[in-house]
Amino acid sequence: MSATTIHRFDPTLHREGIIRLWQSVLGYQSAHNEPNLVIDQKLALNDGLFFAATCEGQVIGSIMAGYDGHRGWLYSLAVAPEHRHRRLGTELVLAAEKALIQRGCLKINLQIQEGNESVQAFYASLGYDVEVRVSMGKRIPPAASRHRALADIGGLIEVTPADEIWIKTSDQSTTYLNDLTPFILQVTQWLQDGQLFYGLCGPVVSGPERYQGLLCSLIVRIDGCDWRQESRSAANFKVGPKPAHRNHSFALGHPGGTLIDGYPVIGRYGSTRD
């Protein structure tokens, strides 16, 4: 039998597998449980309380925990059907409990849908008791919860170059163009290097023809702005056939700190707003 390992969630290694697992096992239908949204919101906390179980490089289990400084919570425990009844669910719960206890947590809570007796029995076997409580919740519409941030998945961002743009069509060919016409991209993913958030990426959906059919990567500048909260900022941008990726030969703020594979690549810096 192949070895199973539990890791802290790594978006580069585990995101796609977690999404497939949740879609097949949890089957959430509500918009606020959309897997990409849940993952991005959890990563924004950077609390280290998100775990993935893998076997032969494939994601086969998950669990998330939360901690408010007093009580802990368990969420999104999922195990692929073909890997059940092998104590994997137990090991995931124990991993989350250990992380919470290390933070000083004194009590761990969880919620189970009414009538799910098998899951209730599973948690009872791990020492969890049914408590007489009334569970209440309030849904907050996204538009009412706060202004839309630049980093919101699905959002539209207008980018206005602040100076002449450069256009590379090969390693040896770079031209410059003084055209400050804005263009618009739709955010489809965050750019991350491990736990480091360094930008956003998505297809260009409007603007001059030179950008059409390409992806725009917005790279954070060293100005203290948190794009997960702010609705406008300055940014370096690179537009090309693929998302920008980190080049560790240079610091992130250096022009060579990110690269795009393929051509053309169009870049400069400019202002952004939702």
The parent domain of residue 269 ranges over 156-273
By C-alpha distance, which of 4, 164, 181 is closest to 80? 4
**Cβ proximity of 184 and 157 under 8 Å:** yes
Q: How many residues in total does the chain contain? A: 274
The last residue of one of the domains, among 94, 113, 139, is 139
Instruction: Please state the pTM of the whole predicted model.
Output: 0.55
Pairing of strands 71-79, 107-109: parallel
**Cβ proximity of 260 and 242 under 8 Å:** yes
Euclidean distance between CA atoms 179 and 162, whole angstroms: 9
CATH of the domain at 35: 3.40.630.30
Number of structural domains found in the chain: 2
Look at residue 145 in the predicted model and tell me its pLDDT. Answer: 46
By CB atoms closer than 10 A (0-12, 13-18, 19+), residue 176 is exposed
**Structural domain includes residue 264:** yes
State pLDDT tens for residues 195-250. 778 888 999 988 899 999 999 999 887 555 667 666 667 788 999 999 999 999 98
